[in-house]
Amino acid sequence: MAGFPSLQPAFTVRVDIDAPMQVGGQHGAQLVIVPMVSGTVKSEPGFEPKLDGELHGTGYDYIHNDADGGNMRLDVRSQVK
């Protein structure tokens, strides 16, 4: 489709994870916490600013599931060095 902007990847994140921890609700796990124990962040070629770092310490993915199971939200927290 002409005239429409396109999305291009800015960077690639690769992580090693530990076992997920489910924080349950009455109708199944509404929150899942996934520890990220190591990983890297690298810019795609030609993207500025250039990133080339490693995860520092342990980061976490917080996965929030809606009660009806129709949607989930991902909240990622980590530090890159």
The confidence band for 28, taking pLDDT boundaries of 50, 70 and 90, is low
**For 44, how many CA atoms within 13 A lie in the half-sphere containing its CB?**
7
Give the tens place of pLDDT for each residue, 42-56.
999 989 889 999 999
Q: Does the model's pTM come out above 0.85? A: no
Average pLDDT of every residue of the chain: 89
Strands (E) in 1-81, as ranges, are 11-17, 21-25, 28-43, 52-54, 59-65, 72-77
Instruction: Locate 27 and state its tokens.
Output: 């109708």
For residue 20, which phi and psi values (nearest 5 degrees)?
-65, 150
Instruction: Locate 55 and state its tokens.
Output: 């995860």
